[in-house]
Structure 1
Amino acid sequence: MEIGFGAMFLKMVWDTDIYQTMLVVLIITGSYTITGEVTSMSWFLFVCFKAFGEVGGYRGLVKKYLVAIPTRTQEGNWTAKTQCYMPRQDAFRIFRSVVSGDIPWPGLILGTTTVSMFYGCADQVTVQRFLAGKNRLHVKAGCLLFGYLKLLPMFLLVMPGMISRILFPDQVACVVPSECQKFCGRGTGCSVLAYPMLVIRVMPSGLKGFMMSTVCASVMSSLTSIFNSSSALFTLNIYTWIRPTATEKELMVAGR
């Protein structure tokens, strides 16, 4: 998700093809590694507070989101169905109806929760960092902190996206294929524009460059973690199977 957001954000700033953008980021990442999670998180928090201020806080979000619809809902003889552009009435409920809910509460508890727990415990990027802990106490503390930080996406990712729909309904909530194609190059919706639109339209001009720098750093850091994980998996599970007598130096060269 982070890599996808970074690519879309840089595409909007640089006005280039998204694949060209990702290629540039990959090349830079391959030659230089930079860690930017903390700085990036600080700017994300700034964007969130700024966005909440634009809609009048949480109460304003609840009130305005339910009426955030695009201006155009038809083109020629074609008219979009109401459920395609009207926000759900249960949008602010976690436990939704078994009959009418898009994610019924049994599925949320038994399905989504199980998958999330498995992902959190088995994600290679996360486990790799836990294994680098100084001792067991540090690893346990890191796990607890990781669990509490998982509560933040509701406020850092979900609600800013809803705010973006309120502020820019024609772009973020577009339903007419020609309009969506014009805004984001896709004919099936432009929800991917939600966060980049907030950054570009809401943040002060002088801070957009800082945000772009932190996004680049964060994306590069994520790509670096993926590269390191893939390298370790290949070296220890495949290369050692091909060459069981490989020395440590050879394994290091193969991994790099």
Structure 2
Amino acid sequence: MTLVTFVFFTALVAVLTWVFTRKADHHTGVGFFLAGRSLTFPFIAGSLLLTNLSTEQMVGLNGDAFTHGLCVMAWEVVAVVALVAMALFFLPRFLKSGVTTVPEFLEMRFDKTTQVLTNLIFLAAYAVILLPIILYTGATGLLDILNVPELTGIHDRRTLLYLIVIVVALIGSVYALWGGLKSVAFSDTLNGIGLYIGGLLITYFALVKLGNGSFMTGLDVLPQEVKPNAFNSIGGPHTTAPFFTLFTGILLINVFYWCTNQQIIQRTFGASSLAEGQKGVLLTGAFKLVGPLFLVLPGIIAYALLKNEVTASNQAYGKLVQLVLPNYLAGFFAAAMLGAILSSFNSALNSTCTLFSLGLYKRLLRPDGTDAEVVKSGRWFGWIITIVAIVIAPMLDNMQNIFQYLQEMNAIYFIPILAVVVVGMLSKRVPAIAANVALVAGVAVIAIGYFMPGIKEYVVQMQKYHFISVVFVLLVAGMYLYGAVRPLKEAWVQYEARAVDMTPWKYAVHIGVLLLVVVAAIYVWFADFSVLQDVPAETPIATQLVE
């Protein structure tokens, strides 16, 4: 029954996607990479959500909650702040220039070198960090939820890991490399509905299990069965989301991710108008407020039910699903999980192809290439990147905290690119040389801080999220200082492409403010600041911050 329902729901999404997008333009650059600039707000929101929501969150964030409690909701709730910034500040500027990629915008603002550097940084990060992690966490999640060893008769974990990684990568590649952004966005929306329903059902069934058949009893019992401060929104310095980092590294990583990360914001570039884009982004923010109910709460419940059985936090969610999910729903939920994995993978792969085709192939290798040649180059490059990701993914099998690893590795390239985009949008006279040096220096400094002995230990004491915020401030200040000493002779004027209707949604500011108020209310409601006094002796920087 599990296998039948899994295949049925997976095939249903594929068939519906083919039926509704088969006549779309898959042969021109705008059609393949931007869905012909035809996306409306439901598809933008659905695609944004499911591109973001994958097993590195379902497994990783719930694993963090198993260990650290509610404070890890920061990754979901602070994202709302970034989405408001995207809707009101970043998106209007991107759509005004009619760009297809973030590096293309930076070329308009600075020069071709800035565009090439940003492209190369994105491509390297997606190939060796993002895509392998998506495949690995997806494979491990499906291993547990589908109980693949029993279904296949293969009990060697390494073999199964490779097989699932290959299958997921191949299916995701078909969506991304043949269907283009429109197919990706449509399938994301269908899978997003399934995953939201499935995720909330896991929380419901887990509480019923905890309450011995009663949902309300489960709610009453839960606070008594978990660690102290498990429901505290304020993270102490010993957690993976310390409170002060909400205003430094965690905020910056979220702003980059939702405002300048090509994998995520590409579907907003395909909006049919600024108003549709803003509605889609803000609707995503509203849905993110619901996220902790199935991305954090199940991890806390897993501690109450399985604290004596889980040896590694990344196992918590899979074991919880096995324990509480009825057999008749296992296939549906596994199909929804596969949809989430495919969504994140094919979106990242589609963005990788876009960056290569439009940023390197069209700009450097074949400036006179036709639209068909540009799309074809992207497809070939996509297959190469897929193979690289397949090879790397199983090597992550011994990673203890995959979600934390992903965020820290992302910061290496997130922070320099964000600094350059922000300065590019806010300044008029900072020259290209300042941006180019900031990109290279930012990546180098963060990588040295993370990996070089001696310096690495100091960064750990300082708290990595504070470290990257200091780097961000230094990069921005350095660019502005250079611009003050050697400014552009003529102030930069942003090009207006008139690619879409730029009339803003009349309720955008009102809804944005409302979302920010709700974020603050959530934190205040669950806050207990006494944990900030619990400062380990080995973190002198944190002690100084509290004092």
User: Which residue does the alignment assign to 2:431?
Assistant: none
Is residue 264 of structure 2 the alignment partner of residue 120 of structure 1?
Answer: no
User: Which residue does the alignment assign to 2:172?
Assistant: 29
Partner Cα distance (1:59, 1:109) in 2: 33
User: Which residue does the alignment assign to 1:49?
Assistant: 204
Aligned counterpart for 1:164 among listed residues 302, 309, 312? 302
User: Which residue does the alignment assign to 1:134?
Assistant: 272
Q: Which runs of 4+ in 1 moved over 4 A?
A: 100-103
User: Which residue does the alignment assign to 2:143?
Assistant: 11
Q: Which amino acid aligns with 2:202?
A: V
**Percent identity between the aligned chains?**
29
Deviation, 1:96, is 4.1
Unaligned runs of 5+ in 2: 1-55, 58-133, 150-156, 177-186, 211-216, 380-547
Is residue 224 of structure 2 the alignment partner of residue 63 of structure 1?
Answer: yes
The C-alpha deviation readout for 1:160-190, integer Å capped at 9, x for no partner, is: 0111122122332x2xxxxxxxxxxxxxxx2
The C-alpha deviation readout for 1:177-220, integer Å capped at 9, x for no partner, is: xxxxxxxxxxxxx2112222222210111111111222222212
Partner Cα distance (2:175, 2:257) in 1: 28
Partner Cα distance (2:232, 2:201) in 1: 26
Task: Calculate the aligned-residue CA RMSD, in Å.
Answer: 2.2
Deviation, 1:234, is 0.6
8 Å CA contact 2:353–2:378 kept in 1: the answer is yes
Greater radius of gyration (CA): 2
Q: Which amino acid aligns with 2:148?
A: W
Q: 1:206 to 1:37 in 2, by over 3 A?
A: same
What is the TM-score normalised by the length of structure 1? 0.76
Partner Cα distance (2:295, 2:273) in 1: 32
Partner Cα distance (1:167, 1:62) in 2: 12
Aligned residues: 217
The C-alpha deviation readout for 1:218-240, integer Å capped at 9, x for no partner, is: 21222111110100011111112
Moved more, 192-201 or 15-24: 15-24
Q: Which amino acid aligns with 1:65?
A: V
What is the TM-score normalised by the length of structure 2? 0.37
SS in 2 for 1:171: coil
8 Å CA contact 1:64–1:166 kept in 2: the answer is yes
Q: Which amino acid aligns with 2:360?
A: I
SS in 2 for 1:134: coil
The C-alpha deviation readout for 1:62-104, integer Å capped at 9, x for no partner, is: 21112xxxxxxxxxxxxxxxxxxxxxx3332222456x66644
User: Which residue does the alignment assign to 1:20?
Assistant: 163
Deviation, 1:253, is 0.9
Moved more, 216-225 or 48-57: 48-57
SS in 2 for 1:90: coil
Is residue 293 of structure 2 the alignment partner of residue 155 of structure 1?
Answer: yes
User: Which residue does the alignment assign to 1:187?
Assistant: none
User: Which residue does the alignment assign to 2:336?
Assistant: 214
Partner Cα distance (1:154, 1:250) in 2: 44
Unaligned runs of 5+ in 1: 67-88, 175-189
Aligned counterpart for 2:245 among listed residues 90, 93, 107? 107
Map 1:72-111 → 2, pairs under 5 A = 89-97=228-236, 103-111=241-249
Moved more, 133-142 or 214-223: 214-223
* Structure with the higher fraction of residues in helix conformation: 2
8 Å CA contact 2:175–2:346 kept in 1: the answer is no
Partner Cα distance (1:11, 1:203) in 2: 15
Q: 1:113 to 1:64 in 2, by over 3 A?
A: same
Aligned counterpart for 1:39 among listed residues 173, 184, 194? 194
Q: Which amino acid aligns with 2:333?
A: M
Is residue 351 of structure 2 the alignment partner of residue 229 of structure 1?
Answer: yes
